[in-house]
Chains A and B, each alone.
Chain A
């Protein structure tokens, strides 16, 4: 049975053969993570962070920010929660359509993840400069992973959070789930398809937000990649790395993904395909 809810700015579906309350507990994680990390909700914990003021936060927000900073460090800033492409995506109908240069209020062009300071001792966050923290990708990945943990006792299930997938165990036919990757240029077509068990599959694509994803390192639109998919043990990792792979040079991305022991498939705007060794076909 497939259950669906609108949460975290997207449509989330869970397919599982389990009592309603199990799926409900899984959906609760999405609502809970959203309550802490949402950019949409003025009352969210994230929105209470003020620059220059060290603020003790919940474990959920702390872990989301900590993970985002770790990936930022690991990718040399290609993923950056302070100026990331996700923010550009969310502002889609405010600046993408007009072509206006947008500036988040009181946020400098040169802010970066280095302006965010964490202290694990009192679990606090300090924004050293005025900036907008966007945890979109990380929060959704975290919610998917937490929901997957909730459903783990049932073994076989699928979570689809607006295209971010976590596929556990087997499909109703007793086979690994088949996960297709949407072709970024041919509507309705697949770029590729893989059998997946116990893995997350996340994709960033230029059809998502035109060619207006910001490369956080340069502050310019990233235009080189049409689609970047990462297959990893956790959605948190897969989503963050797919976002990073969108702005990195494809060869650099493949190296990064290989170093992180995850798989990936990248299609450039020139339609050149790059794969990690684990996805290469004989």
Chain B
């Protein structure tokens, strides 16, 4: 049984409270989806794989930039599950580029379960 929630924890060195409700969590349909992100140097296509409503894989599908994908790919292609059999978690620096993130968001948008009102509207 969970203990009662407390206002403070050692993890948080100051008190902030939630002021407003944020957007509800998206739900995704199972499958493989892609999305494009553009940059001044060309497009990046991201791919996400959804299984049981969860992201199980995310990475670059194609790189149409003027620069080799290998420049970008090792930096941001990270499996979302545990990264090594030897450890529970891996601490690593993984800043992603704006283009990749936008591509990922676009891919997830394609995977998003339509809301009831969207589903009711004929295309």
Contact = CB atoms under 8 A, between A and B. Distances in A.
Interface string A162-190: 11111110010000011111100001101
Nearest to A201: B91
B2 interface: yes
Q: Which of B16, B23, B78 lies at the interface centre, i.e. has the most chain A CB atoms within 10 A of its CB?
A: B16
B50 to A, nearest CB: 10
B5 interface: yes
A119 interface: no
Nearest to B18: A32
Interface in A1-42: 2-6, 9-11, 13, 18, 22, 24, 27-29, 31-32, 35, 40
Interface residues of A, number: 82
A72 B74 CA distance: 30
Given A163-B91, A167-B89, A202-B91, A145 B80 contact: no
Interface string A40-79: 1000000000000000001110010001000000000000
B87 A180 contact: yes
A168 B23 CA distance: 27
Contact of A164 (B12, B22, B91, B97): B91
A235 B11 contact: yes
Contacts of A237: 13
Interface in A202-238: 202-205, 207-209, 227, 229, 233-237
A178 B9 contact: no
B12 A148 contact: yes
Contacts of B62: none
A6 B58 contact: yes
A177 B55 contact: no
A86 interface: yes
A10 B54 contact: no
A229 B91 contact: yes
A145 B19 contact: no
A6 B25 contact: no
Given A31-B23, A233-B10, 20 more contacts: A4-B55, A10-B101, A11-B58, A13-B80, A27-B25, A28-B18, A40-B101, A58-B19, A92-B97, A144-B11, A145-B13, A146-B16, A152-B11, A167-B89, A180-B87, A190-B90, A201-B91, A202-B91, A203-B93, A227-B93
30 contacts: A6-B101, A9-B98, A10-B94, A22-B2, A40-B98, A93-B44, A94-B39, A97-B67, A142-B16, A145-B13, A148-B9, A148-B12, A152-B5, A152-B6, A152-B11, A154-B2, A160-B89, A178-B87, A178-B88, A180-B83, A190-B87, A190-B90, A193-B87, A202-B91, A205-B93, A207-B75, A207-B93, A208-B75, A233-B10, A235-B11
